[in-house]
């Protein structure tokens, strides 16, 4: 029998999922994206050459791997076209490898306009969205007025899209005082764009089950991180989809009993893009060190990431809500050169009492992290391929994190390239 493995982030995204999916797909038959949109950013480095992906699954760089954009993904066809063109310029035969669900809700120009108008109106209270229309597209989906990719080829599509555009244009003009979207132009563009990917549009639920039923190995690739989940993240500073393991079933059509393993990708420190709670955030030289050495700039937005110490409380929460059974620790090499590395092992409230998990974003702002100081290391870990290659204190750091989060670490990433990896246990080989 084949294996169905889920790979997702345990923090606020940017954990290095792209590299790990690419690494593990050597023996995969398919890689499936099940949520999010082109607000995601996965960077793959192969032989020193970088490839940044946003919509297309990271397995696209592997010959013979079928890449699937599932029904849980909100789709900007223009963003997909740009990404496909970029890959084709690199010699990647995208159309041979990629299939897109006919059930994908479409991100329309009016969604982008709404997203940006809302953030502008919020001012200093903005959530920090990417401004790419993700949230408004999901809102239309949930309200049952959304337009899906398969709808474009059905009778009555123009009337349906016109109704959606008129609805949102009214809000743009009357409430936000923003420019509206030209209805006729939008209809023509959506039809033309949909026709351009008609050959790769299909019933992906049936496709994925066909691969599963012939004992194929399937990787499910999460976007963003678990703490950005609409239900279990640091609400309202979250994304608009379920980034946790539960989203795999709804966003791909593969039931939970078919999932064999769930791997959590965890950065050796903590980062966050945009607004929202961040108990271990650093505003000192250590924070600058992590940001500079880790090149902490968002793949999608280009925004600087906020940096802080490793937070075991957050990761334990992610392990619980995802039933994660193994961890891949990434960017260990960024910690090289620090005299002391800290791990947050708990929170205290203003009265000094232990807090298990803050009930709201406002509650997060009142907690103080409880740290354990560990000795750092000055020898390089870059490119290490075995545990024996690591400095003693780096090995001790890995062992301490395992105990602090209550989960085993199977893989350690020591650099961006797929070969710069230590495999401690082989439980996730496909």
The whole-number mean pLDDT for each consecutive block of 10 residues of the chain, a chain of 430 residues, reads: 88 88 87 91 74 88 94 96 94 96 97 90 74 92 96 94 95 92 96 96 98 96 94 93 96 96 96 93 96 82 87 97 95 96 96 89 93 97 92 97 95 88 70
Q: What is the pTM of this model?
A: 0.91
pLDDT reported for residue 232: 95
pLDDT reported for residue 26: 85
74's tokens: 């909100």
Q: Choosing from 54, 111, 141, 232, which is the catalytic residue? A: 141
The DSSP symbol for 230 reads: T
Consult the annotation and say whether 16 binds a ligand.
yes
Consult the annotation and say whether 133 binds a ligand.
no
Is 7:17 a contact under the CB 8 Å cutoff?
Answer: yes
Q: Give helix 109-122 / helix 157-174 axis angle, nearest 10°.
A: 20
Strand locations in 118-191 (E): none
From the list 73, 71, 60, 67, the residue with the least C-alpha distance to 31 is 67
Q: Choosing from 3, 38, 42, 111, which is the catalytic residue? A: 42
Consult the annotation and say whether 144 binds a ligand.
yes
pLDDT reported for residue 39: 79
Consult the annotation and say whether 128 binds a ligand.
no
Give the position of tokens 């079928």. 66
pLDDT reported for residue 426: 58
pLDDT reported for residue 130: 76
Q: In whole angstroms, how far apart are CA 105 and each of 22, 69, 414? A: 26, 11, 38
For the question of residue 42 being annotated catalytic, the response is yes
Give the position of tokens 């059509």. 253
Give the position of tokens 């809302």. 118
Consult the annotation and say whether 332 binds a ligand.
yes
pLDDT reported for residue 131: 80
Partners of 369 in beta bridges? 347
Consult the annotation and say whether 177 binds a ligand.
no
For the question of residue 184 being annotated catalytic, the response is no
Q: Which residues contact 403 (CB under 8 A, 6 or more apart)?
A: none
- State the Cα–Cα distance between residues 144 and 236, nearest whole angstrom: 22
Q: Choosing from 3, 14, 151, 193, which is the catalytic residue? A: 14
pLDDT reported for residue 19: 83
- State the Cα–Cα distance between residues 280 and 138, nearest whole angstrom: 31
Consult the annotation and say whether 125 binds a ligand.
no
Domains and CATH numbers, the chain: 4-101+201-263 (3.40.440.10), 109-197 (1.10.300.10), 264-423 (3.90.170.10)
Consult the annotation and say whether 199 binds a ligand.
no
pLDDT reported for residue 429: 59
From the list 150, 66, 79, the residue with the least C-alpha distance to 108 is 79
Partners of 31 in beta bridges? 67, 219
pLDDT reported for residue 428: 54
Consult the annotation and say whether 280 binds a ligand.
no
For the question of residue 50 being annotated catalytic, the response is no
- State the Cα–Cα distance between residues 260 and 298, nearest whole angstrom: 31
- State the Cα–Cα distance between residues 370 and 18, nearest whole angstrom: 31
Consult the annotation and say whether 168 binds a ligand.
no
The DSSP symbol for 297 reads: B
136's tokens: 């408004």
């Amino acid at each position: 029998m084949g294996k169905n493995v889920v790979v997702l982030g345990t923090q606020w995204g940017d954990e290095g999922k792209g590299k790990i999916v690419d690494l593990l797909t050597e023996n995969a038959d398919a890689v499936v994206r099940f949520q999010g949109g082109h607000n995601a950013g996965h960077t793959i480095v192969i032989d020193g050459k970088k490839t940044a992906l946003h919509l297309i699954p990271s397995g696209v760089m592997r010959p013979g791997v079928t890449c699937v954009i599932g029904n849980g993904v909100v789709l900007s066809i223009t963003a997909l076209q740009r990404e496909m063109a970029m890959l084709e310029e690199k010699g990647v035969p995208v159309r041979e490898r990629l299939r897109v669900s006919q059930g994908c809700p479409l991100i329309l120009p009016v969604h982008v306009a709404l997203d940006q108008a809302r953030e502008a109106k919020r001012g200093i209270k903005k959530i920090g969205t990417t401004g790419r229309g993700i949230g408004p597209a999901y809102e239309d989906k949930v309200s049952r007025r959304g337009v899906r990719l398969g709808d474009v080829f059905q009778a009555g599509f123009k009337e349906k899209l016109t109704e959606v555009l008129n609805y949102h244009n009214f809000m743009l003009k009357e409430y936000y005082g923003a420019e509206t979207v030209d209805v006729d132009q939008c209809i023509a563009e959506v039809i033309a764009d949909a026709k351009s990917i008609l050959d790769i549009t299909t019933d992906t639920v049936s496709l994925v089950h066909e691969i599963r039923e012939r004992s194929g190995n399937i990787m499910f690739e999460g976007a963003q991180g678990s703490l950005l989940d609409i239900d279990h993240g640091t609400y309202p500073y979250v994304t608009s989809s379920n980034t946790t393991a539960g989203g795999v079933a709804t966003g791909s059509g593969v039931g939970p009993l078919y999932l064999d393993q769930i791997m959590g990708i965890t950065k050796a420190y903590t980062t966050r893009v945009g607004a929202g709670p961040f108990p271990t955030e650093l505003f000192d030289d250590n924070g600058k060190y992590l940001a500079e050495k880790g090149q902490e700039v968002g793949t999608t937005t280009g925004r600087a990431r906020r940096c802080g110490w490793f937070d075991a409380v957050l990761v334990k929460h992610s392990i619980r809500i995802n039933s994660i059974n193994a961890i891949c620790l990434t960017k260990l090499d960024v910690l090289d050169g620090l005299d002391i590395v800290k791990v947050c092992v708990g929170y205290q409230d203003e009265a000094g009492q232990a807090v298990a998990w803050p009930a709201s974003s406002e509650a997060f702002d009142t907690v103080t992290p409880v740290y354990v100081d560990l000795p750092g290391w000055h020898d390089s870990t870059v490119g290490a391929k075995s545990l024996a290659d690591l400095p003693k204190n780096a090995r001790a750091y890995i062992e301490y994190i395992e105990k602090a989060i209550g989960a085993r670490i199977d893989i350690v990433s020591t650099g961006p390239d797929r070969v710069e990896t230590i495999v401690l246990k082989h439980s996730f080989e496909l």
